[in-house]
Structure 1
Amino acid sequence: MAPRRVMVAMSGGVDSSVAAALLCEKGFDVTGVTLKLWRSESGCCTAADADDARAVARRLGIRHYVLDYETEFREAVVVPTIEGYIAGETPNPCIECNRMIKFRLLIERANALGCAFLATGHHARISRIACGGHRLLRAVDQAKDQSYVLYMLGQEELASMLFPVGEMTKDRVRAEAARLGLRTAEKFDSQDVCFAPDSMRDFLEREAAGALVPGEIRDAAGAVIGTHDGAALFTVGQRRGVGAPTGRRVYVTEIEAGDGVVKVGERGDLDARSIRASDATWVSGVPPELGAPVEVKARYGAHPVSGRLNEIGDHHFRVDLDAAVWAPAPGQALVCYQGEELLGGGTIRSWSAFAQPGVESAADRVHVGDEPVHRQTPCSRNWRH
């Protein structure tokens, strides 16, 4: 394997374009690849994006290939996303794309091509420490930090990853692209899900119409106050489009997918002080110590909130918070940091309105498989486990 050979995942955006350019300037033997994941004319991963990536590769004088992973993407990302919404969750398809496609299949392809590294345009940093391990850090540009969607990376992946723009601000990235004459210098960042460029509701109505069953909207007391066209069309914390004629603002507080019931309440009903996550992964390969102080994010653009890891299992953890996190949605990621370092994360499963310091007693928990689960109490919100 050539130590200076690197594969760059080129999305057709400015960040990955500059990542490829910087590696060229550092003397790497660079090969650019663009993923064909979905047939779409808007959002990310379009034919126009592939054209932009190809033009940048031509400008840089590097090889460029388009890799067709449409079948793998549908099986590993799209289908589980649909299933998650049907189950009443709010999946994050970008995280699953990173986990299953970009940092699994692409690393395998890079290795097959004799590349020592896979590089992407993510705004995050990797710190290689003296003992040979690796730390995953927030980006220099906090406003563009993308470490949240990279929490599943472990030591094996980080050893073969490069994030060339993680040390740069977005303005500097664009300035570099302009200096190099790259056509992506002023290209807008895509915020859309590639397979749902209009809206997730439109996508689900098209792709999962058979699973959309009309049901009831109920208030906190259990009274029926409206109807809906399918529980999968809602997400926890949603206000717009709820369709409950209450005369006041109400928010989705709970989705009982099995019964087709969407529950609504006041904004304050969604303040969480304890959050439980499953499918946990830790960057170092081992979890932090029980009781360790952390800052957590329960959604991509959220500000971190401090708390403590007061329960840690083989594949789950619980964080008790110093301040409320609003509307943590089952299916989204709960990601743990200490300062600028990302420790790991998992998938949100349940939350409580009250912090529960210390280790819970067995009387306060039931178990489903190896997952401890709160018993339902009047002061908690516990949904799907």
Structure 2
Amino acid sequence: MMSKVVIGLSGGVDSAVSAYLLKQAGYEVIGVHLLLLPAYCGQTAAPEDARAVAEQLGIEFHLLDRRAAFAEKVVEPFCAEYFHGRTPSPCLVCNREIKFGLMANFAAEIGAEYIATGHYAKVAKDEQGASYLAKAADLKKDQSYFLCRIRPEVIEKIIFPLSGKTKDEIRKIAKNIGLKVASKPDSQEVCFITDNDYKNFLHTHYGRGKAGFLRDNAGKIIAPHNGVENFTIGQRKGLGVALGKVVYVTAIDGASGDVLLGEHEELMSTELLACDNIFHTSLAIGETIAVEAKVRYRANAAKATLLRLNERETKVTFSEPQRAVTPGQTVCYYRGNRVIGGGVIEKVLKKAEDPCEINI
């Protein structure tokens, strides 16, 4: 009997070719499109494109309405983070809770052994036969950062058919087999913000955050501002002030509304505190290990030590200062190509600060 795999069909070329490759490999493939976007986003072609792919490949297709869960788990926390002066990572939350969380639940309901997507990442096995997440062969397209907080028990059930392929190879396969989505552009960064203007999205649908003051790092008031959601760490454009020199947002206090401005060197830090960590390896409380840590998708993974402080928190200490480490973003931990976990950046630690005692 063929193994059964549920694949998420987004309506794009990557998931379409993934479904084709799975079918060629002998799996019983079941396509699923998750209906996620709120009504105010308008109609998109994605559901019908996904259905058309399934029909073209001759596979079973399901359209699952998960808009309520998406709003609760992804959109509303995204807005709340901005209103608290933090910069969220909605795609990582969506991957854990929706794309791989709800899809894993659906797979269990229908008796499917595996789930799959068109992500560029890899699931490999260690010497003991345990599954782990790793970087894709095409490092330029690698998306393991966005998957680092998927629960370990789900990783065991995942297949990434594109793990060893490049985007050019995927486009070529799609054209060769005549997929209608072969030339479809890649999807945008935040799917529910259709014009990529997150500030307009927040203000139109969820209101405004706390107003306050722009201050220098000595606390002196520079000017008022109309909401902490308008700023992110490292921002230098759109500040609404001219100080005769280049300044950046160096800190945001969501409670008081204060936004601190400073020069470039004030963006640099060597330590952070991360919370809500998920690990894909055994790490005891109080244990320290060497890792490469990545503080945003476009950043390079940098040498660091990882100390597990307690059940919830870790401290990451970098060998070299990192630029614009941002609360609310995700830090992903690697050892070589292997992903060993990830957490949400809670706080940037200054040299004089001690985050908390180790709770053993």
1:28 to 2:27 alignment: yes
Match of 2:261 in 1: 264
> Which stretch shows the higher mean deviation, 307-316 or 220-229?
307-316
Match of 2:143 in 1: 146
Contact 2:38 2:71 (C-alpha < 8 Å) held by counterparts: no
Q: CA deviation at 1:9?
A: 0.2
Which segment drifts farther, 64-73 or 50-59? Answer: 50-59
- State how 1:73-152 maps to structure 2 within 5 Å: 73-152=70-149
The answer as to 2:272 corresponding to 1:275 is yes
Q: What TM-score do the two structures reach when normalised by structure 1?
A: 0.88
Which of the numbers 71, 77, 96 marks the counterpart of 2:68? Answer: 71
Are residues 1:242 and 2:242 paired? Answer: no
Residue aligning to 2:179: 182
- Distance across 1 between alignment mates of 2:334 and 2:285: 11
Q: Please report how far the alpha carbon of residue 21 of structure 1 lies from its aligned counterpart in structure 2 after TM superposition.
A: 0.4
Give the share of equivalent positions with the same residue, in percent.
Answer: 37
Equivalent residue for 2:202, pick from 197, 201, 204: 204
State how far apart, in whole Å, the 1-side matches of 2:236 and 2:39 are.
Answer: 29
SS in 2 for 1:188: coil
Counterpart contact for 1:124–1:137, Cα < 8 Å: yes
Question: Number of aligned pairs?
Answer: 359
Give the 5 Å matches for 1:209-224.
209=207, 211-224=208-221
Deviations 1:315-336 (A, max 9, x none): 2111111112111110100111
* Contact 1:37–1:73 (Cα < 8 Å) also in 2: yes
Which amino acid is the alignment partner of residue 121 of structure 1?
Answer: G
Larger displacement relative to structure 2 (230-239 or 15-24): 230-239
Query: Following TM superposition, by how much is the alpha carbon of 1:130 offset from its aligned partner in structure 2, in angstroms?
Result: 4.6
User: Contact (CA 8 Å) 2:349, 2:355: kept in 1 or not?
Assistant: no
In structure 1, C-alpha distance between the alignment counterparts of 2:303 and 2:246, rounded to whole Å = 29
Q: Which digits, 9 at most, give the CA deviation of each residue in 1:23-59, with x for residues without a partner?
A: 01111111111111114797xx963112221121111
Is the contact between residue 84 and residue 209 of structure 2 (CA under 8 Å) also seen in structure 1?
no
**Structure 2 residue aligned with 1:290:** 287
SS of aligned partner of 2:214: strand
Aligned 8 A contact 1:216 1:261 in 2: yes
What is the TM-score of this pair, normalised by structure 2?
Answer: 0.93
Instruction: Answer whether contact 1:295 1:306 (CA < 8 A) is retained.
Output: yes
Which is further off, 307-316 or 110-119?
307-316
Deviates more, 1:54-63 or 1:310-319: 310-319
Q: Report the 3-state secondary structure (helix = DSSP H, G, I; strand = E; otherwise coil) of the residue aligned with 1:143.
A: coil
Structure 1, unaligned runs of 5 or more? 373-385
Q: CA deviation at 1:192?
A: 2.8
Corresponding position: 1:10 with 2:17: no
Alpha-carbon deviations, 1:185-221, whole Å to 9, x = none? 2222123312212211111111221x43432111112
Tell me the equivalent position of 2:59: 62
Maintained 8 Å contact 1:141/1:168: yes
Q: Secondary structure at the match of 2:3?
A: strand
Note if contact 2:83-2:210 (Cα within 8 Å) is conserved in structure 1.
no
CA distance in 1, matches of 2:334, 2:263: 30
The amino acid across from 1:242 in the alignment is L
What letter corresponds to residue 115 of structure 1 in structure 2? Answer: A
Choose from 312, 315, 329 the match for 1:315: 312
Separation of aligned partners in 1, 2:34 and 2:80? 24
What is the identity, as a one-letter code, of the residue corresponding to 1:332?
Q
